[in-house]
Amino acid sequence: MTSSFFFLQAEKDERNRAFYDNLESWSSKKSTQVYVVNQPLGDDRYDYNYENCAVVMSPGRKICLINFSEEGDEFADFVEDFIEDVGSISDKYQYKDAIGRPRKWRNDLVYEVDAGTNYDVKSYIQDSRIEDPAKRRLSELIISLVTGSINDIERATAEVPDNLLDKVKRKIQLFDADQTRFIYKAINKKSIHIQGLSGTGKTELLLHKLKDIYVRNPSSRILLTCHNRILADNLRRRIPEFFNFMKVEQQIEWDSRLWCMHAWGSRSDPNSGTYRYICHYFNIPFYTFGQSSFDEACKEACELIQSRHDGLEYAFDYILIDESQDFPQSFLDLCELVAREYVIVAGDIFQSIFDTKIKPSISPDFLLSKCYRTDPRALMFAHSLGMGLFEEKKLRWLEDDEWQTCGYIVETSADKSFYRLKREPLRRFEDISAAEVPSVSIVEGETLNNEQVAELVLGAIRAISEENPTITPDDIGIILVDSGSQIFALQDTLAQIIPRETGWAVNKAVESKRKIPGRIFISNRNNVKGLEFPFVICVTSNLSRGLAYRNSLYMTLTRSFLRSYLIVSRKQDEKMMGLIRQGLDTINVSGFIETQPPSAEERAEIMTSITQDNVRTSFYDFCEEIFDEIGILPIFRQELRRVIKATAGEDFDRDEIAEIAGFNYKKMLKKDGR
């Protein structure tokens, strides 16, 4: 199995095989990232004639340029050319003010090995060591340039931050080996599948791949698509920002070289959706939501295109699909049919902790199991609480290979009556001391009326502010997990009290539908998809065992990348709460989950419950559930259903429908004078 810690781009042969193999073994054993390259990645301009050498890089260590040949003069030229090119890349991404010119860092951060065939890993470990924290950070910035893992230099300066929040915020981000392979490995098949948990960087990798294709293939036609209209709009806004950040010199030619749109589309605009554009391009019938299911529409489109013999060109050269788990197979087949070169299919193996199948039905070409957004301890607690792992009756259980697919290291007793589940450490959180900073704090109140909840929330904000002097309103998200109309009153109470106490303005995301810079974020569970905050304050009254509720808890708690606060009422099952507190203590202190698996009978019962919960309800009943949550008056419901059917996709997206319903309900109330 290929290591997620070791990336090898240089060619392996008899002269270097032993060194590379031992280096990979050390990298995996120590969970230490190592890159072995023979040129800077991501730009064809940096190419060298001399091939019998390599650059060995590991975060926080000196950069080793190693020669595996006896040709000393050519190696000396390679060293000079490589360092000169790193300086050029530094200029391009404006790193020079942070790291200086190569002559300033070369002696401290680079060393050469002329006789590489006699060099061993033990010597590398010794020779590459750096003690000075500032120089270690400088080394990481240079590695980020060589690997194309470009950081915002204003945030990731060479200075070492002096507080935990800034250490995590300004941690220099480097692609791991799996991510680097995805971006730079040549694709030699028509369909490439990439799977990973939420927070593993799939969308960011798609943007890097999109940039790479756009720059290298100036005459290509490229499509980035996803199911959700809101996500497509967000991606379309992100692309220009990303291209500017990555110093792409070519102009974006929207709807002639590059398309970014959601899946279906509308009859009035051929560029409004992927299926709509394909129908327009091949001059085949287009079916709206009211005329056909999306699955049937895509199947018919495939059949009609395959039956054509008029020599029409492919609609696109490259297609990149985000959130592929939202699509029927027929849409993926349609995309593969109309793409000349290849299709990249990126999906989430754990979109819901109550999916009936965690393992992807198609074995992925790239599996991303490391969640970089969330502290591994917080992710473990969120999974445990969502799945009921601490409770006597579990809500969900995975097979051993499924745990591993989701990034867990599985240890069991001989008879498998006891499980210990842990995750690999991540560089982003290596500065966090488990003993000093818990990943999750449970805050229990006597009752949870609005005023008491507000005081508990303020208490959490005070604690966060005292421990993190550079905190800003953007760093905190307050998420109200419960459903029903009472959360709107609670939101209003918080919006009044928080500014008085903190001086910070509040953003009620239920109304704004977005994250507003400079304001503290307050939302229900329907407006947090894709967002992240250093700190999340999660408010709920009762830890029920409903599957949808537990899934919402999981999604909410993993919005934080530093620490989550869970505010609950003390009026809970004390035995259950005792087990949850004990399980959290084990995670915070020891860094793993301890649990007992359910029996075979219990597993069968669990899967039956999940299957029943996942049975597709009718569109009417689905809307009614959401209307009940929002508190929509019966007189407005029929008209709202018509609006939703006209604007929402065929697959029931709860977040999107809740947003459409809430927005239009307010307009209806205003028009009605209520």
Q: In this structure, are 564 and 648 located in the same domain?
A: no
pTM of the model: 0.78
Please give the single-letter amino acid code of residue 233: D
Q: What is the pLDDT of residues 563-586, one digit of tens each?
A: 899 999 888 888 899 999 999 999
Q: In this structure, are 361 and 381 located in the same domain?
A: no
Q: In this structure, are 266 and 291 located in the same domain?
A: yes
User: Locate tokens 């995750």: which residue?
Assistant: 423
How far apart CA 629 and CA 273 sit, in angstroms, is: 30
Please say if the pLDDT value at position 494 is more than 80: yes
N- to C-terminal Cα separation, the chain: 63
Q: Is the dihedral of CA 137, 141, 143, 148 positive or negative?
A: positive
Please say if the pLDDT value at position 281 is more than 80: yes
Structure confidence at residue 610 as a pLDDT band (50, 70, 90)? low
Q: Average of pLDDT values for 270-280?
A: 95
- Give the pair of three-digit tokens for residue 488: 């709107």
Q: In this structure, are 501 and 436 located in the same domain?
A: yes
Domain assignment present for residue 476? The answer is: yes
User: Residue 625 belongs to what H/E stretch?
Assistant: helix 619-630
Domain assignment present for residue 609? The answer is: no
Question: What is the model's pLDDT at position 650?
Answer: 45
Q: Is the dihedral of CA 518, 524, 529, 532 positive or negative?
A: positive
Domain assignment present for residue 509? The answer is: yes
User: Locate tokens 């800077």: which residue?
Assistant: 40
Q: Average of pLDDT values for 138-151?
A: 92
Percent of the chain topping pLDDT 70: 89
Structure confidence at residue 24 as a pLDDT band (50, 70, 90)? very high
User: Residue 111 belongs to what H/E stretch?
Assistant: strand 110-113
Domain assignment present for residue 234? The answer is: yes
Q: Are 587 and 504 in contact, with CB atoms under 8 Å apart?
A: no
Q: In this structure, are 549 and 448 located in the same domain?
A: yes
Domain assignment present for residue 277? The answer is: yes
User: Which ranges of 391-529 would DSSP assign to H, the alpha helix?
Assistant: 400-405, 450-467, 486-502, 509-512
CA-nearest of 432, 431, 434, 411 to 421 is: 411
Domain assignment present for residue 63? The answer is: yes
What single-letter DSSP state applies at residue 314? P
Q: In this structure, are 213 and 334 located in the same domain?
A: yes
Total residues belonging to the chain:
674
Please say if the pLDDT value at position 301 is more than 90: yes
The more confidently predicted of residues 427 and 39 is 39
Q: Average of pLDDT values for 409-420?
A: 93
Domain assignment present for residue 169? The answer is: no
Q: What is the pLDDT of residues 302-320, one digit of tens each?
A: 999 998 766 668 999 999 9
Structure confidence at residue 595 as a pLDDT band (50, 70, 90)? very high
Domain that includes residue 644, residue range: 617-673
What are the helix and strand counts (H, E) for the chain? 24, 20
In three-state form (DSSP H/G/I as H, E/B as E, the rest C), the secondary structure along 18-62 is: HHHHHHHHHHHHCCCCEEEECCCCCCCCCCCCCCCEEEEECCCCC
Please say if the pLDDT value at position 525 is more than 60: yes
Please say if the pLDDT value at position 432 is more than 80: no
The more confidently predicted of residues 209 and 363 is 209
Q: Which residues pair with 222 in a beta bridge?
A: 258, 318
Q: In this structure, are 452 and 593 located in the same domain?
A: yes
Among 344, 368, 392, give the residue marking a domain's end. 368
- Give the pair of three-digit tokens for residue 394: 């579990």
Q: Are 207 and 252 in contact, with CB atoms under 8 Å apart?
A: no
Q: In this structure, are 474 and 327 located in the same domain?
A: no
CA-nearest of 230, 554, 269 to 396 is: 554
Three-state DSSP class for residue 283: coil
Sheet holding 419-423, edge to edge: 408-412, 419-423, 592-595
Q: In this structure, are 342 and 425 located in the same domain?
A: no
Structure confidence at residue 656 as a pLDDT band (50, 70, 90)? low
Widest distance between CA atoms in the chain: 87
354-359 long-range Cβ contacts below 8 angstroms, 24+ apart: 354/395, 354/396, 354/547, 354/550, 354/551, 354/610, 354/613, 354/614, 355/614, 356/607, 356/610, 356/611, 356/614, 358/398, 358/402, 358/405, 358/406, 359/401, 359/402, 359/405
Question: What is the model's pLDDT at position 156?
Answer: 62
Among 597, 627, 655, give the residue marking a domain's end. 597
Percent of the chain topping pLDDT 90: 46
Please say if the pLDDT value at position 659 is more than 90: no
Q: Are 327 and 274 in contact, with CB atoms under 8 Å apart?
A: no
- Work out the angle at residue 336's Cα, subtended by the Cα atoms of residues 335 and 337, and round it to the nearest 5 degrees: 90
Among 368, 390, 419, give the residue marking a domain's end. 368
The more confidently predicted of residues 428 and 465 is 465
What single-letter DSSP state applies at residue 364? -
Q: In this structure, are 589 and 622 located in the same domain?
A: no
- Work out the angle at residue 261's Cα, subtended by the Cα atoms of residues 260 and 263, and round it to the nearest 5 degrees: 140
CA 315 from centre of chain: 29
User: Locate tokens 């915070």: which residue?
Assistant: 588
Q: Are 27 and 5 in contact, with CB atoms under 8 Å apart?
A: yes
Q: What is the pLDDT of residues 620-642, one digit of tens each?
A: 777 887 888 778 888 888 888 88
CA atoms within 13 A on the CB side of 149: 21
Q: What is the pLDDT of residues 174-227, one digit of tens each?
A: 888 888 998 888 888 899 999 888 778 888 999 999 999 999 999 999 999 998
Domain assignment present for residue 604? The answer is: no
The more confidently predicted of residues 356 and 343 is 343
Q: Average of pLDDT values for 308-337?
A: 88
- Give the pair of three-digit tokens for residue 58: 């590991």
Structure confidence at residue 80 as a pLDDT band (50, 70, 90)? very high
Q: What is the DSSP track for 552-607?
A: HHHHHHTTEEEEEEEEEES-S-HHHHHHHHHHHHHHHHHSEEEE-PPPHHHHHHHH
Question: What is the model's pLDDT at position 651?
Answer: 45
How far apart CA 272 and CA 347 sit, in angstroms, is: 22
Structure confidence at residue 107 as a pLDDT band (50, 70, 90)? very high
How far apart CA 299 and CA 301 sit, in angstroms, is: 5
Q: In this structure, are 190 and 299 located in the same domain?
A: yes
- Give the pair of three-digit tokens for residue 665: 């309900």
Q: Average of pLDDT values for 443-467?
A: 88
Here the CATH number for the domain that contains residue 442 is 3.40.50.300
Q: Average of pLDDT values for 123-131?
A: 96
What single-letter DSSP state applies at residue 322? S
- Give the pair of three-digit tokens for residue 600: 């075979």
Please say if the pLDDT value at position 257 is more than 50: yes
Q: In this structure, are 447 and 590 located in the same domain?
A: yes
Question: What is the model's pLDDT at position 126?
Answer: 96
Please say if the pLDDT value at position 42 is more than 90: no
Q: Is the dihedral of CA 365, 195, 564, 160 positive or negative?
A: positive
Sheet holding 34-37, edge to edge: 6-8, 34-37, 53-57, 63-67, 110-113
Domain count, the chain: 4
What single-letter DSSP state applies at residue 538? E
Which residues, including other chains, have CB under 8 Å from residue 391's CB and lie 6 or more apart?
576, 579, 580
